[in-house]
């Protein structure tokens, strides 16, 4: 089964990553660099969602949780786009990984 390894470094609103794809042997690697904003409020919201919301899910917590879930989804999309669409090499690794994974589906 293919293994994708992401070595990620976050520094002052910028992400740098090394992406490695292996399937019993080295298939390829790529570098991704992109801007990424993760505020102190994002961090606190995620902490609240994972810790406090599970303990106290009463009003108005569900409305707050919905806002945070929307942000988490956007962050995930932004990270994926930055990681795998920032270079032709990274896009190629993702395409190769998808083909490999389809053989296991």
**DSSP labels for 46-81?**
HHIIIIIHHH---TTHHHHHHHHHHHHHHHHHHHHH
Q: What is the reported pLDDT for 68?
A: 98
Low-confidence ranges of the chain (pLDDT < 50): none
Q: What is the reported pLDDT for 17?
A: 94
What domain count does the chain have? 1
Q: What is the reported pLDDT for 105?
A: 66
Q: What is the reported pLDDT for 42?
A: 97
From its phi and psi, is residue 13 left (phi > 0), alpha (psi between -120 and 50) or beta? left
pTM reported for the whole predicted model: 0.85
Q: Which two tokens stand for residue 66?
A: 């919905």
Q: Whole-angstrom Cα distance, residue 2 to residue 62?
A: 38
Q: Contact at 8 Å (CB) between 9 and 70?
A: no
Q: What is the reported pLDDT for 32?
A: 94
Q: What is the reported pLDDT for 104?
A: 76
Task: Print the domain residue range for 97.
Answer: 3-102
User: Which residues have a Cβ under 8 Å from the Cβ of 27 and sit 6 or more positions away?
Assistant: 2, 21, 93, 96
């Amino acid at each position: 089964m293919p293994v994708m390894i992401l070595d990620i470094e976050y520094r002052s609103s910028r992400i740098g990553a090394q992406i490695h794809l292996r399937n019993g042997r080295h298939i390829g690697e790529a570098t991704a660099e992109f801007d990424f904003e993760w505020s102190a409020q994002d961090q606190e919201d995620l902490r609240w969602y994972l810790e406090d919301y599970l303990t106290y899910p009463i009003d108005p917590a569900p409305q707050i949780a919905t806002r945070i879930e929307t942000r988490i989804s956007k962050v995930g999309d932004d990270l994926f786009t930055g990681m795998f669409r920032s270079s032709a090499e990274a896009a190629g690794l993702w395409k190769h990984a998808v083909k490999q994974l389809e053989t296991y589906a």
